[in-house]
Structure 1
Amino acid sequence: MKRLMKLLVLSSLVAIGFTTGCNEKQKQEQAAVKPQPAKPPTEVVVPDDVKRKWKAVEIAVSDKQHNQQKVYTIKLGSELKIPGSNLTLRVENFLPHFVMEGTTLTSQSNQLVNPAAQIVIREDAKEIYKGWLFSLYPTTHAFQHPLYGFTLVDYLPAS
């Protein structure tokens, strides 16, 4: 009789374990399938005085294979084909005093407090990166490419 009781208790514990495990697994599967709330889109607002003051940026492109670096001057709103590669680099915007206000990215002033350039990189015409280069924080949100590195090094005011 004691043996039967032990067997019943043991089988009950095993059954509870399976039930709990299944429920946990189901919860994990449901959580994985559950749609995540969409992030609100960010908007880039370049103040008119900033648009008038700045015309281009200088971006250093590092060739990791050959341990070389070349600096290119790229006008705002234009793109450059990186020589010897299948990459193009487009400079979308420049914000000399980059700030994020809610979902809006803008410049608080024309002072070079936190200079940032919004870039788009395409490889074989396919967009592989759209983001920001920060001159004071070059590793923040840095784009990782196996062959090339990109750094914002200077900014050119309009004459």
Structure 2
Amino acid sequence: MKRLMKLTVLSFIALGFAAGCNEKEKTEQAAAVPQVAEAPSAVVIPDQVKGKWKAVQIEVADKNAHLKKVYTLDIGSDFKLPGSDLTLKVETFLPHFVMEGTTLTSQSNDLVNPAAQLVIREQGKEIYKGWLFSLYPATHAFQHPQYGFTLVDYKAS
């Protein structure tokens, strides 16, 4: 009976240890992905980045037609997605995206973690405002019934 209890206790300890390892791995993986706070954040564009980028390229996947097309969107300008009621606008591009507290900024002008802040309007109504990350396309990805959006390239001024 004592031997059975020891084996049971050891089994629980082993299970707990294994679960702890899995949680540690999940935590390490999550730390690698950019996290953007859901609370309002300030976007600060450093002087070394201001005016250095003129456009980004976004791949638009039409899920119904099974087609993908890349469009060049000028930063700060509206872009009407052909054949749809959607208007896209890249508000900000940060080549080295980082989050410092509640501030979103770029640590440098190097393409370390490129991110674009995208606003999508449907029939004039804002339906999405968030970030596209070229290194992590699935992170905070906008879910639209017909279209998918991926940041694929960047154009310097």
| TM-score, with length taken from structure 1 | 0.73
How far does residue 52 in structure 1 lie from its aligned partner after superposition? 2.3
Q: Counterpart of 2:51 in 1: which secondary structure?
A: helix
**Deviation larger for 101-110 or 42-51:** 42-51
Larger of the two Rg values belongs to structure: 1
Q: Counterpart of 1:52 in 2: which secondary structure?
A: coil
User: 1:43, 1:110 → 2: CA distance?
Assistant: 19
* Residue equivalent to 1:98: 97
* Residue equivalent to 1:129: 128
Query: Does 1:47 find its partner at 2:46?
Result: yes
Q: Counterpart of 1:150 in 2: which secondary structure?
A: strand
| Alpha-carbon spacing, 1:149–1:106, altered in 2? closer, same or farther (3 Å) | same
Q: CA RMSD in A?
A: 1.0
Q: Counterpart of 2:119 in 1: which secondary structure?
A: strand
* Residue equivalent to 1:155: 154
* Residue equivalent to 1:109: 108
| TM-score, with length taken from structure 2 | 0.74
* Residue equivalent to 1:72: 71
Would you tell me which structure has more helix in proportion to its own residues? 1
- Any idea what the Cα deviations from partners look like across 1:57-104, whole Å, max 9, x if unmatched? 000111000000111111110111000000000000000000000000
Aligned residues: 120
Q: Aligned letter for 1:86?
A: D
Q: Aligned letter for 1:138?
A: P
Percent of aligned positions that are identical: 73
User: 2:107, 2:139 → 1: CA distance?
Assistant: 20
User: 1:40, 1:142 → 2: CA distance?
Assistant: 17
How far does residue 40 in structure 1 lie from its aligned partner after superposition? 5.1
Q: Any runs of at least 4 consecutive aligned residues in structure 1 with deviations exceeding 2 A, and if so which? A: none
User: 1:157, 1:40 → 2: CA distance?
Assistant: 30
